[in-house]
Amino acid sequence: MHCLLKIRGYLCIALSICLLGIEAEARANDHYEIVTNLGVSEKALSVNSLRSIFSMRLKTWPDGTKIRVFVLSDDDQLHQTVSKEKLNVFPYQLRSTWDRLVFSGTGQAPIIVNSTEEMLAKVASTPGAIGYLWRANINENVNVLEIK
């Protein structure tokens, strides 16, 4: 009986180590970036500028090009991660800001896309576009912004 308890304990430890490894690998693959259309000359932005863009307060790039913001739906994992980690706001706070702009007639909400594939296609083909992608989805058709 004592031997069975030891084996059970070792199995629990081994399983825990395996699960920690899988979780760490999943987090390593979850890296994302803020991306822009190739025509956008900006290569770096501050967190405040990024927040202003995604809250639809900053409407043009320094060269005068209109900023076109693309986002995924509020319940998308990537949208939630970017909102919390890069913008330091919850998705519902962004939604509230966008709704206020639309209902007051003082602005527009960003363009919602249905997938990261659509995000890549829209950002790559729309002048002045900005969005976000998992690193695994990024290709040479978009620029990656450095966030300071």
Cβ distance 116 to 137 under 8 Å?
A: yes
pLDDT of residue 24: 41
Q: What is the pLDDT of residues 79-127, one digit of tens each?
A: 999 999 999 999 999 999 999 999 999 999 999 999 999 999 999 999 9
What is the spatial distance between Cα 120 and Cα 35, in angstroms, rounded to a whole number?
9
Domain ranges of the chain: 1-30, 31-147
Q: What is the pLDDT of residues 54-69, one digit of tens each?
A: 999 999 999 999 999 9
Confidence of residue 17 (pLDDT cuts 50, 70, 90): low
CATH level 2 (architecture), domain 31-147: 3-Layer(aba) Sandwich (3.40)
Question: Any idea what DSSP says for residue 126?
Answer: S
Torsion 107-68-135-112 (CA) sign: positive
> At residue 144, does pLDDT exceed 60?
yes
Residues 6+ apart with CB under 8 A from 146: 43, 44, 45
Strands 129-134 and 111-112 turn out to be unpaired
- Report H helices in the chain: 2-29, 47-54, 77-85, 91-104, 116-125
Is the pTM for the entire model greater than 0.85?
Answer: no
